[in-house]
Structure 1
Amino acid sequence: MNVRPRPLLVVADVPTSSRWYQRVLGAESGHGGVAYEQIVAGGRVVLQLHSRAGDRNHGPLADPSVPVGNGVVVWFEVTDLNAALTRIEDSTVEVDHPFRFNPDAGHHEIWLRDPDGYRVVLAGEDHAHTG
């Protein structure tokens, strides 16, 4: 079986979140719009963004009275972490945990907060694959 993850985050402002993820990931828009977006990197959709209000097919996708992201960490392995760090330094991205080496995973990583408060991790390529 072949599985391709396509996580979807429900966000307050799709265009704002789209610009944030494009900048942080060095990615591009694959759809564009105020209600729905696809973030594309390396020719593949790596993230979907959808407005909280939902749409005619799904209805509302989030309860606005409940904080988003509790227990959710959106994790990206990137091949050029140094380029990502430069993009982060050149913007107003909120850093949750600074750049560091994670000895358990065998890679460097930085933990961020996106505009909605979701935790986002950018990690270098994993050199300690456990199978």
Structure 2
Amino acid sequence: MIKLDPIIAVRNIQTSARWYRQVFGCRSTGIHLITLVAESGEVLLCLHPWGEHGHPTMHEPEIGAGHGLILYFRTDNLDGIRKNVEMLNYAVEEEIHVNPNSRKKEFSLRDPDGYYLTITEFHTY
């Protein structure tokens, strides 16, 4: 088995963890590395503070977060997540629309650190 647990560098690990919990309704574990976990027990994302532990891609926050990266979340709760974002009065970059490639509904926004997220209806490839 192979699984990917993406880790992103964030400015304030607690602020970012709270935002992701509020948007996705997930739980978080950890202190120095926070793991965001879905209801199903699957890891969604890991949050790591900028500049700690000497990781080569996590030591220059001024370069900008997420260049070349889209955090693409497939969910069976698209409308609920969109409502959570609305309740937070958080701006979206693209409202819910049908993606012409996947033919699934999706919307996009940036997290507090500027990472670009696309939230889409669950589908398989």
Q: Same fold (TM over 0.5)?
A: yes
Q: Which runs of 4+ in 1 moved over 3 A?
A: none
- Alignment equivalent of 1:54, drawn from 41, 45, 52: 52
Q: Which residue of 1 aligns with 2:2?
A: 3
**Structure 1 unaligned runs (5+)?**
none
Deviation at 1:59, TM superposition (A): 5.3
CA radius of gyration, larger in:
1
Kindly tell me the number of residue pairs found equivalent between the two proteins. Answer: 123
> Separation in 2 of the partners of 1:92 and 1:69?
23
Q: Which residue of 2 aligns with 1:100?
A: 97
| TM-score when normalising by structure 2 | 0.89
**Structure 2 unaligned runs (5+)?**
none
The question of whether the paired residues in 2 share the 8 Å contact of 1:93 and 1:113 is answered with no
Kindly provide the amino acid, as one letter, of the partner of residue 16 in structure 1.
T
| TM-score when normalising by structure 1 | 0.85
Q: Secondary structure at the match of 1:70?
A: coil
Q: CA RMSD in A?
A: 1.6
- Alignment equivalent of 1:69, drawn from 63, 66, 75: 66
> Separation in 2 of the partners of 1:91 and 1:22?
12
> Separation in 1 of the partners of 2:29 and 2:114?
23
